Structure 1
Amino acid sequence: MASLSLSNLRQVWITQAPQLFTFALYLLLTYAVYRILSLFLSRQKRLSPHSENLARLILRVAAITIALIAVFSVYELPTSWFLGSSALVGAFLGFGSSQTINNVAAGFYVIISKPFEVKDYIKLGDVEGQVEEISINYTKLYTPTFNLLEIPNVQVLNSRVLNCTHEGFIKNTFVFTVPHATPLRNDDLYSKVFKPAIDEISEKYPGVLLRKPEVYFEISTHFGRGFKVRLFVPKGQAKTMYVIQSELSNRFLQLYDEERLKPAPQP
């Protein structure tokens, strides 16, 4: 019994080995070509990040297609197998497969229609960040928490997008709130808190900040007075922008506390 099983295994190996080696060779060559072309793309300085991302996406789809063609060619499978099995595959995968197809279609639509490009800074619903990649299934954002967030392309397509990148640089806005209890008027806040902090940060990052940050009074609520702060940094430098925003907010707080804690002038 054991010898019969070994004999069957040996026979299967002898008959299948050439096809397995051929298939493995196809995959190896496909992967090698993919890696070479990917390396070539990464060295092309003339390509914009968005164009490079599109080229990489096309390469991935082409590699998957070639792998499928290799399976049918090496094992001489009739194409009717693929067509006949589609209903069975659809029954098994169901919702998951439709979502995948929708994500792929949405990804290509986003790349072609260009509501944003790679390295743009966008606000998408409740999240924001710098677009690092638009892949087959996901759009990847580098968020203010210094993490990479993957959002399904279908969700991207169905969301309102605010693109904060214009004319080659990011114009991002955040809100700084001052409690109503503060004795400082808006003019005092501008002259004693906002302006000194902005001057310090601008001197610290002369090559990054394309222009000085701007502060505007926005709204007064029961929480306090809200001031809109705008930052201007080159496209693709979201990480530095996050650092500058944190340092600027911290400096606002320090100067505000210094002014708030000063003893009242004697009459």
Structure 2
Amino acid sequence: MLLDTALTATVPLQTLPTGAELVDTFVIPALTFLVGFLAIYFLGKTVLTPVVRRVLDSKGFDSSVKSLADSIMGVVVWVLALTVALTLAGFGGFIAALGVFGGAVALAVGFAAQDLLGNFVAGIFILKDKPFQVGDWIEVNDISGRVQDIDLRVTRVKTFDNELVTVPNGDLANNALTNPVAFDKLRQKFVFGIGYDDDIEQAKDAILQEANDHEEILADPAPDIRVTELGDSAVGLQTRFWIDEPSRGDFVRVRSDLVQAVKERFDAEGIDMPYPHTQLTGGIDVEGIQTASATPSDD
């Protein structure tokens, strides 16, 4: 009897939590979390996301960038609502630990995918700055062709040999790129060579007349010719002319038409179009060499 009394006195009996304690421990934090999450999520969707969309509209961003921004803002709003709700519910320590873990994961992913992220960022700037558009003829490094598609990571170019080249956007953003059709006019140059004995003014008049007679060569700005080369066998006349609403097909065809017309005109007027040639002069001395015949040996 005394032993039972001592055990009762030294070991306290475990009591079940009361209703008020349950409310304070579980119900109120759960309600706080729920209300905080819904409030922040609603504000983000109705205020923050539309503001970002209006800013992108005012800056003239492409629809692909705006669609991407909507997706990113959806994730940001969700994470923000979850973070605020957990903090209000009293789980700040959990948020801190999650932040450290997330930072480490983000750092590792960033190092592993830095080229991919660089192409991704370059794609955003290409869609924003619009150095070229779908359908444009571009030249970069050794690639020349028409843009088929602009993605956030790569740009697809169809070459004039009917090949599809996938170019990372980082290469387009970090290298000099030529867009010959960016404006409504394009100037082209071609050097015609005439002989040193030919009349330069006569040749100029013939070239200008053929250029002015071509329907697709603009009269304003007018074609012009300059003597630019004194070569080994010819005098170079650089002819410059403009075409309207250029495309590569138009440029190649118009230049070909002009070169053929000038060649035929020069032939008709007796103007020489010399080509490089090499003439050897001098003589060759040939000396006879007497070779002693071998004496057969007696075995």
- The two structures have a TM-score, normalised by structure 2, of 0.44
Q: Which has the higher contact order (CA 8 A, sep 6+)?
A: 1
